[in-house]
Structure 1
Amino acid sequence: MELHYSNKNAFSKPLDEVLVKFYTAEELWGIACQQVYPALQQTRPDKREKKAELIEKLNEVFVSEETMQRLFKAMPPDLYAVIELLAWGGDHWAEKVEKQLGVEVLNRKTLARKRHYDRERIEITRKPEMWWVVADHESEKYYSSDRRTALRLPPAVRSLFRKHMPKPAGYNLEPFDAPPEGTRTFRCDETLGEDLRVVADYIDRGHLEYTKNEAIKKPCIRALARLTGGGEFFPAEKSSAKLPLLRHELLVNIVASTGSSLRQAMLEDPPDPARMLRPLATELFKHPDWFFEYVLTHLSGSPYSCDKAATARLKAVFAALSVDQWVSFENLENYVNYREIDVDPAPRHRCQVSIEPIRKDYYSIGRIDVDSTNGWLLVVVPMVQGSAFLLAALGLAEIAYALPRHPGWQRKSEVFLTPYDGLAAVRLTPLGAYALGQTDEVELKASQRQRAEILLNPQRLTAICRHIDPITEMSLLEFMEKISDGCYRMTRQTLMRGCSSGGDVQKRIEKFKAQIVRNLPEFWEQFLEDTKKSAVALTPKTRYTVYELADNPELRRLFLSDAVLREKALKVEGTRVAIEKADAASIARRLAALGYLMR
């Protein structure tokens, strides 16, 4: 069966419509002769039956497990191997199927050239005996030798066959005890409570800054990496700029994207898991656009709409993991694929995303559109891998991984498609099991730090801080200078640091009140008000032009004695005078009357 514009719409219909509108009577007759009559243990009739009768017999086969097994048994081994591969593996390129299984699926006929300089044309058709299989050509009839044909099964037929075919390895989760050899592991659930508190406090105090493209600035990420204790996935890796701060980029972006009420829960001491962990997991999987922005960073373009149900299904996949045992990524990938769990947040019919990989050989691939043949590798696999890293960044999962490397696709100047390509295995932490609903109780380690207390001297511009923490100290040093441990002093210079205008001073004062203390003593309020008023020392007077007098004693005497010149020319310093632009013409006329010119 060939897929073309006349039957394309019927391809994705329910099974009864696929049989009526997609497959032809000739195709169904061939299927019946080869498979249906043996499955029903009936003799093939001498006369070809009508299409409605053939569909009725097919439905008789579909309702019984026994007849379906006889249907599979009646298939030639090559056909069954192809159908099994397409049923469990989805769409495949024909050349890949032929090479992998050692069978011929397509007929290739080289057409005679009309002219000696014409390009070679090859007519591609599916072999008649490959019943059920659909050939999807890039062109309607012909293609050149560098193009390919995809082999597909209608979704309804694929689902039917999967119900009755033996389950492949990886259909169920197969946990094991130890992480794979040669991998490193990462977990940060011990420090998660303190890490979230630090990040939320940093954001709440207004330290977080954004670029013009609305991305968090790297210095902010680096500062938080120094302030938190959870560590990084690739702390000392210098082969790629995307790796050293990967964990904190995920952590900070997610916390910054959550609501203020959830960040306030992160600031509580001791932390309440019920108000923080489960809402965090719920908020995370409620926003598929976050995964596009923070996880699927290799995709360019933006989806027209996101499928919230896809991320909810992804959450259920990770909720099926255990705390004590690992699950390999290959097993997790097969689990999602074989059970037809749709975790793609932007289906192809609603989103046109593309990628720009570069192969490190003579040929560059350029821009590639995501379609049904590569969507699994370019979207779904990175989605599952990146989600595991994201949960690990939030302390909800423990991962085993290696340096990322992708055998088929690499971004420019990289050896990987995404930073998550090295994922080997994953398991939940106790915090993750609680957040995803497996358990009802969990203990979140409380912060060992006491809350910082800032005391402002009511008579001097000095402040004392008790139980100081790194973020509070960073805030104080932004506006003050350190006198001794726990003691700080504000001056005009420290307050106005980095300001270039009166508006900057106003913003600095507002930022100081937001980060340090909102209710200031009267002495401090007066100082800030005086600084704001007197901050600008010089104001340009653009309506005046400064002139240099010629070295002439008589001319200088005229500017001192003549009524017109003395009135309209202001002495500046030395032999310079300032003249208002509106008076320049009258000054020029007066000087001309006195025998002088004005340049």
Structure 2
Amino acid sequence: MAVAQDVDATTDRSSGVDGLAVRLTAREAQANTLAVLQLCAAGKLRCSEKTQRPGTATVAAVAGVLLGGDFYLTEPIAAFAWPLLVQAGGLAEIAGGRLALTARGRAALAKPAAETIRQLWRRWVSHAVLDEMSRIETIKGQRSARALTAAGPRRKAVAAALATCPPGEWVEVDTLFARIRRGGPPFTVARDVWKLYIEDLQYGSLGYDGFHDWSLLEGRYLLCLLFEYAGTLGLFDLTCGDPVDACDDFRGNWGADDLDFLSRYDGLHAVRMNTLGAYVFGLADRYEPEQDGAEAGPALKVLPSLDIVVVGEVQPADELFLNAYGQRTSDRVWALSIRSLMAAIDAGRPAEDLRRFLGDRADHDLPATVTRLFEDVAARAGQLRDLGLARVVECADKATAALLVSDRKLRSLCSLMGERHIAVPVQHEADFRAALRKLGYAMPPSRA
């Protein structure tokens, strides 16, 4: 099946495939970093607690906010990678089946995206959620015992090889293969190649002579890591096309007749390390954005009526952020109110984040009505504080309650509520019960 995509440039490939698209990924990746973090903050992404992989609905949700869309319409690459990358980077964790931002993830929302991307790549190299080879589903038997080499050293070898690519220079994939085989750190994918096969273990085993050359195993692994993770993070600009018939090195294998391509990454034609990649790989001290003709982030108008108006194109990350704090009244307008800000605070989104967001993007000072709204909301929110969960203990009389809360060991573990009730924070319950027994009391289990 052909994989549809937008075409920005046309180039010939040695195999005769044309209609290749050039993707300048650095700007896209920085916008996508923030958009995916906003999706996590909104609780819209689900991943398996067992495998940590995103489900179909989550992949679709991520694809819907990617600037420029995924690389292909029907073969998820970036949309699959992002939920894994934020987990590996410690920016999000699975809680109740959903991805939730960690403290590090919340902090990343206020940091330059390039800095976050550098951390994500480094963490992926050392703490990847999966073996990228598993994404080449047509090569079966990978889960057999000792079929593959350890993914960690293999990944680090490929990352080291990618770091040697000359910044700003387009390199065709075949040339990159040759360079890595000639001078890059050596790595292998298969520990026992006879356990890997296409379609049928007996007839389609890759162990037969001529059925497992470097491009088919090591090359496909490299393409996946390069395309799905380094490309998604915006370290390399990509020239890619339809993977159907882009490579023919697997055609002689038994069972390959019905395959349109061996991997979804077969359409990658050439790569170019950009300035973001040079920064991430340590080849530049700081990130200097390339001028690609794209406008900077859209400015905002904050009106005295408490409306926020986006001037220019609405970016996915900004749209998700504004949705968390205001009510959308038109394509480019969000209305703020005490109720909408209180709802955001209740969901764990500080109002100060919105104030900072508006201050950074608006080309004018905030109107007095908006400043008063923030002051009012801050005052109301400051009147209540969540102290966490507690077990409520009822005493027979107020004398017993007073005795317990004044005890030298118990007084730091509980607090008096009214005359006969004591609140015990759940994290202190075990210590409270132990100290209670030493005092000559016991608390029977709850009958609720």
- Output the TM-score relative to the length of structure 1: 0.42
Q: Give the letter aligned to residue 422 of structure 1.
A: G
Select 2:120's aligned residue among 271, 280, 284.
280
**What is the Cα deviation at residue 382 of structure 1?**
0.6
Higher helix proportion: 1
Contact 1:328 1:424 survives alignment (8 Å): yes
Q: Which residue of 1 aligns with 2:283?
A: 438
SS across alignment from 1:185: strand
Structure 1 unmatched ranges of 5 or more: 1-177, 236-240, 359-363, 454-463, 492-508, 526-599
Q: Is residue 220 from structure 1 mapped to residue 62 from structure 2 by the alignment?
A: no
Structure 2 unmatched ranges of 5 or more: 1-9, 92-102, 311-317, 352-377, 386-448
Q: Is residue 232 from structure 1 mapped to residue 51 from structure 2 by the alignment?
A: no
**What is the Cα deviation at residue 341 of structure 1?**
3.6
Distance 1:486 1:438, change over 3 A: same
Distance 1:289 1:380, change over 3 A: farther
Q: In structure 2, how many angstroms separate the alpha carbons of the residues matched to 1:427 and 1:218? A: 31
Select 1:395's aligned residue among 226, 230, 234.
234
**What is the Cα deviation at residue 429 of structure 1?**
0.9
Contact 1:313 1:343 survives alignment (8 Å): yes
SS across alignment from 1:448: coil
Q: Give the letter aligned to residue 110 of structure 2.
A: E
Select 2:167's aligned residue among 323, 329, 345.
323
Contact 1:326 1:427 survives alignment (8 Å): yes
Q: Which residue of 1 aligns with 2:320?
A: 471
Contact 2:223 2:265 survives alignment (8 Å): yes
- Between the two proteins, what is the percent identity of the paired residues? 16
Give the structure, 1 or 2, with the largest relative contact order (CA under 8 Å, sep 6 or more): 2
**What is the Cα deviation at residue 286 of structure 1?**
1.8
Q: In structure 1, how many angstroms separate the alpha carbons of the residues matched to 2:187 and 2:129? A: 13
**What is the Cα deviation at residue 476 of structure 1?**
6.5
Select 1:419's aligned residue among 241, 264, 268.
264
- Output the TM-score relative to the length of structure 2: 0.54
**What is the Cα deviation at residue 296 of structure 1?**
3.8
Distance 1:467 1:283, change over 3 A: farther
Q: In structure 2, how many angstroms separate the alpha carbons of the residues matched to 1:292 and 1:190? A: 24
**What is the Cα deviation at residue 488 of structure 1?**
7.4
Q: Which residue of 1 aligns with 2:180?
A: 336
Q: Is residue 248 from structure 1 mapped to residue 79 from structure 2 by the alignment?
A: yes
SS across alignment from 1:209: coil
Select 1:192's aligned residue among 7, 29, 46.
29
Distance 1:208 1:382, change over 3 A: same
Q: Which residue of 1 aligns with 2:156?
A: 312
> Superposed, which structure 2 residues align to 1:38-187 within 5 Å?
180=12, 182=18, 183-187=20-24
Q: In structure 2, how many angstroms separate the alpha carbons of the residues matched to 1:277 and 1:353? A: 36
Name the Cα RMSD after superposition.
4.5
Q: Which residue of 2 aligns with 1:385?
A: 223
Stretch moving more, 332-341 or 394-403: 332-341
Contact 1:254 1:284 survives alignment (8 Å): yes
Contact 1:357 1:367 survives alignment (8 Å): yes
Q: In structure 2, how many angstroms separate the alpha carbons of the residues matched to 1:396 and 1:190? A: 10
**What is the Cα deviation at residue 180 of structure 1?**
4.7
Q: Give the letter aligned to residue 77 of structure 2.
A: L
Q: Is residue 263 from structure 1 mapped to residue 105 from structure 2 by the alignment?
A: yes
Q: In structure 1, how many angstroms separate the alpha carbons of the residues matched to 2:86 and 2:279? A: 19
**What is the Cα deviation at residue 200 of structure 1?**
1.6
SS across alignment from 1:427: strand
Contact 2:22 2:240 survives alignment (8 Å): yes
Q: In structure 2, how many angstroms separate the alpha carbons of the residues matched to 1:487 and 1:180? A: 52
Q: Which residue of 1 aligns with 2:313?
A: none
SS across alignment from 1:388: helix
**What is the Cα deviation at residue 198 of structure 1?**
1.3
Q: Is residue 354 from structure 1 mapped to residue 185 from structure 2 by the alignment?
A: no
Q: In structure 2, how many angstroms separate the alpha carbons of the residues matched to 1:489 and 1:381? A: 56
Q: How many residues align?
A: 302
